[in-house]
Amino acid sequence: MKVAVFGTKPYDRQFFESRGTGRHEKTYLEPRLTPDTVSLAEGHEAVCVFVHDNLNAEVIDNLKQSGVRYVVIRAAGFNNVDLGAAARHGIRVARVPAYAPDGVAEFTVGLILSLNRGIHRAYSRIRNSNFSLDGLMGFNMRGKTVGVIGTGKIGQSVCQILLGFGCRVLAFDVHKQESLLQAGVEYRELEDILPAADILTLHVPLLPATRRMINEETLRKMKSGAMLINTSRGELIDTGAVIEALKSGRLSSLGIDVYEEEEGVFFEDLSNAIVDDDQLMRLTTFPNVILSSHQAFFTREAMENIARVTLENLDAFAETGASPNEVHAQE
């Protein structure tokens, strides 16, 4: 099958090529898939995309006209694909459902520990020969209450690590995990977790019901001085409201691996450019904010799994016209 691989970085190509040339003819393209670049898909039966490719109804319509029948996503999340439009055009969409949930969970806990103990600040201070401890005092994790919002694959792994630290873990999800209940996790309503949690970490997908779930109102209900972590999707939080909460001290710290307007910025080297996003630039000025560029997934194991499952999805589409990892509009 001829596959147009959009948004290719050298590491994507490396992990695909390390699995051999295989039966699919890949065209590696650096641009992201957008209405402006969709013509590059012409002559391909499939497109391979990542989280910043924009497969809205217009793009899907153009893909159909270009002869594309399959979309394979190199990620678990699929909020960037208009699945209704794909279904209407008979375009089948498959993803990589769980490529490294533990890696994302470990990065999440890394953000918590670094913000708590000021490890990011110590690193840069000591490079300036500043060996003082002023402003670096943290707290013991044991006995602290952590709210885990979403206990799917990543949230479960986060809960397990935090239980190991001796934290009290309060969780919110539309489905309760029996194994977590048995391990000591307490399920509560979001309203009850907000005022109780010393640390709140988000692991729900981006859906209409979860969009901007952290906003002015929910921030007001949070425990004063809480830490907020988001390694899921940027649009789960209202960035403007979070900046105000940091300025007032209502939030003691913020760790985000994702950002509402990250498309076109994250994954790019813009060190010679002027970044035209005042909220993003404001976030980089806070000593108590760690911002990373959507890297929580980025482990060797994840890249190997993404390449393997993406190629399996293409094999399945080529052989049977269907894949076990398809996503549909109603999900």
Strand pairing class (25-28; 2-5): parallel
Give 94's strand partners: 72, 326
By beta-carbon distance, which residue lies closest to ligand NAD?
Answer: 152
- What does the angle CA 167 – CA 161 – CA 255 come to, to the nearest 5 degrees? 80
Write out the residues near ligand NAD by the rule CB under 6 A: 76-77, 98, 101, 104, 150-155, 172-175, 203-207, 209-210, 231-233, 257-258, 294, 296-297
Please report how close the Cβ of residue 104 comes to ligand NAD at its closest, in angstroms: 5
Is 203 one of the annotated active-site residues of the chain? no
State the Rg of the chain over Cα.
21
Is 294 one of the annotated active-site residues of the chain? yes
Q: Which is nearer to ligand NAD, 137 or 174 (CB)?
A: 174
Which residue among 233, 300, 304, 326 is the active-site one?
Answer: 233
Give 4's strand partners: 27, 47
Please report how close the Cβ of residue 252 comes to ligand NAD at its closest, in angstroms: 22
Please report how close the Cβ of residue 242 comes to ligand NAD at its closest, in angstroms: 17
Is 262 one of the annotated active-site residues of the chain? yes
Q: Which is nearer to ligand NAD, 111 or 227 (CB)?
A: 111
Q: Which is nearer to ligand NAD, 68 or 71 (CB)?
A: 71
The conformation of residue 110, written as its DSSP 8-state character, comes to H
274 phi and psi, to 5 degrees?
A: -95, 120
Please report how close the Cβ of residue 43 comes to ligand NAD at its closest, in angstroms: 31
Are 185 and 151 within 8 A, CB to CB?
Answer: yes
Separation CA 86–CA 328 (nearest Å): 9
Q: Give the residue numbers annotated as catalytic, written as ranges.
A: 233, 262, 294
